[in-house]
Amino acid sequence: MDPRTPSGNFWRSLKQPILALAPMEGYTDCAFRMMARECGADLVYTEFVSSDAIAHRAPTAFKKMAFDPREQPVLCQIFGKDPDAFVAAAREVQARGFAGIDINLGCPAHKVVRSGTGVALMRNPEYVKKLVAATIDAVTIPVSLKMRASIRKERKEIAPGTPERTTALDLMEALEGMPIAAVMVHGRSYEDGFEGPVDISMIRAVKERFKGIVLANGGVTTPERAKELMDATGADGVGIARGALGQPWIFDQIRSYLARGRYDTPSIAQLRSIILRHAELAESTKGPHGIIELRKHCASYIRGYPNASMLRSRLVRVTTRQEIADILDELTDET
Ligand SMILES: Cc1cc2nc3c(=O)[nH]c(=O)nc-3n(C[C@H](O)[C@H](O)[C@H](O)COP(=O)(O)O)c2cc1C
């Protein structure tokens, strides 16, 4: 059997539903991925890394690729558009021991789209086919994709009678038969950015068409929403991005909700030890700078508490774990 076929890769050994920490530039670093794993995520994605930068052996790219074996399975997500760079990057990803490589076909950032990468690639399924084929041929680890529900075609491409959008389904049809292990579909269109509605029927259509694993993504912030999204789409699991910020325990909560119909929320004492654990991981992986980068996570963790805004203004200036611990001593749920 081809080891790259869906039945021959780690994805298939994951118990369903699969709960994944979706990639987030600036957030899903080694420390946060470990937090997610410790809180029940089945697999985690790195922030996106430029395939060109990896191919050029840029230290910044290699820094982003640092991971701890305890995170496994961890996927390295790459973006770009040059097939040669994809081949070099894929080989590097495999050599570094990642469980899989994920290709970004969904990033809507201006700079990324202008350079014809990220979600812009969805407009050209035949080109994506070349990129994916080159990547698959370069490695033996599973290759997965992350895409959006749809993107409007460029004006010149819309001839009379042709559809105005390229959808995730169009793309998966073009890639049919390739040994792609999994697809995460962010159910929003490019034009809807990060706040629009999630296109349930598009995710379901991909799930019906594609034989590999399908993860539904978009708007999961509670266990109830995770269940709704999986029920409505038939997906094999969910990818959670912003819904895990400040509450990485959402993965455990979802599992509890699916098994027993209820879930617990951490007490203040538990929250404090979770944040301090995150701080410990941040410091051990990035040194003192890890604490600086943790500031934004701290703000998310205390969101919703009555004295959050007062504490946030202090947390965004912390430089040590002890400072964080001292500030958190003042966190209260009393108004
Ligand atoms: C700050 C931020 C950074 C992101 N970075 C990436 C990225 O590097 N690669 C990627 O595929 N998606 C990225 N995304 C998109 C998320 O993975 C996800 O598809 C999107 O946020 C929708 O999921 P959510 O509603 O659970 O947040 C990012 C999203 C946010 C908010």
Burial class (CB in 10 A: 0-12, 13-18, 19+), 100: buried
Residue identified by tokens 């290699």 is: 62
Mean pLDDT on 176-204: 97
Q: Please indicate whether residue 107 is annotated as part of the active site.
A: yes
Mean pLDDT on 138-167: 93
Question: In the prediction, which pLDDT does 45 show?
Answer: 98
Phi, psi of 321 (to 5 degrees): -65, -40
For a mutational test of ligand 1's pocket, the pick from 194, 200, 229, i.e. the residue with the most ligand atoms closer than 8 A to its C-beta, is: 194
Mean pLDDT on 1-11: 57
Please give the Cα distance from 29 to 45 (Å, whole number).
Answer: 9
11, 29, 30: which is closest to 20 by C-alpha? 11
**Residues of the chain above pLDDT 70, percent:** 98
Q: What is the three-class DSSP state of 176?
A: coil
Q: Is the CB of 194 under 6 A from ligand 1?
A: yes
Structure tokens at 69: 């074996």
Residue of the nearest CA to atom 13 in ligand 1?
24
Structure tokens at 29: 């670093």
Q: 76, 101 in Cβ contact below 8 A?
A: yes
What does the mean pLDDT of the chain come to? 95
Active-site position among 30, 76, 107, 298 = 107
Q: Is the CB of 173 under 6 A from ligand 1?
A: no
Residue of the nearest CA to atom 28 in ligand 1?
24
Q: What is the three-class DSSP state of 216?
A: strand
The band of 155, judged by pLDDT with boundaries at 50, 70 and 90, is: confident
149 alpha carbon – ligand 1 mean position (Å): 14
Question: In the prediction, which pLDDT does 202 show?
Answer: 98
48 alpha carbon – ligand 1 mean position (Å): 10
Whether the predicted model's global pTM rises above the 0.75 cut: yes
Question: In the prediction, which pLDDT does 168 show?
Answer: 98
Residues with Cβ within 8 Å of residue 313, at least 6 apart in sequence: none
Phi, psi of 48 (to 5 degrees): -70, 145
Please give the Cα distance from 316 to 303 (Å, whole number).
Answer: 13
Q: Measured between alpha carbons, how far is residue 235 from residues 42, 178, 182, 189, 292 in Å?
A: 15, 20, 11, 18, 37
Question: In the prediction, which pLDDT does 161 show?
Answer: 87
107 alpha carbon – ligand 1 mean position (Å): 8
Kindly report, residue by residue over 250-304, the tens digit of the pLDDT.
Answer: 999 999 999 999 999 999 999 999 999 999 999 999 999 999 999 999 999 999 9
* Partners of 75 in beta bridges: 45, 100
Kindly report, residue by residue over 202-226, the tens digit of the pLDDT.
Answer: 999 999 999 999 999 999 999 999 9
Q: What is the three-class DSSP state of 179?
A: coil
The band of 2, judged by pLDDT with boundaries at 50, 70 and 90, is: very low
Please give the Cα distance from 324 to 312 (Å, whole number).
Answer: 11
148 alpha carbon – ligand 1 mean position (Å): 11
326 alpha carbon – ligand 1 mean position (Å): 32
Residue of the nearest CA to atom 19 in ligand 1?
186
Question: In the prediction, which pLDDT does 5 show?
Answer: 44
Question: In the prediction, which pLDDT does 6 show?
Answer: 41
Q: What is the three-class DSSP state of 175?
A: coil
Q: Is the CB of 76 under 6 A from ligand 1?
A: no
Q: Is the CB of 241 under 6 A from ligand 1?
A: yes
Q: Measured between alpha carbons, how far is residue 184 from residues 37, 58, 321 in Å?
A: 18, 28, 35
Residues with Cβ within 8 Å of residue 72, at least 6 apart in sequence: 99
Residue 61 sits at the vertex; the CA angle it makes with 55 and 62, to the nearest 5 degrees, is 95
DSSP 9-34: SHHHHSPSSEEEE---TTT-SHHHHH
Residues with Cβ within 8 Å of residue 79, at least 6 apart in sequence: 48, 49, 50, 51, 103, 104, 107, 112, 117, 118
Query: In the chain, what are the domains?
Result: 6-260 (3.20.20.70), 268-328 (1.10.1200)
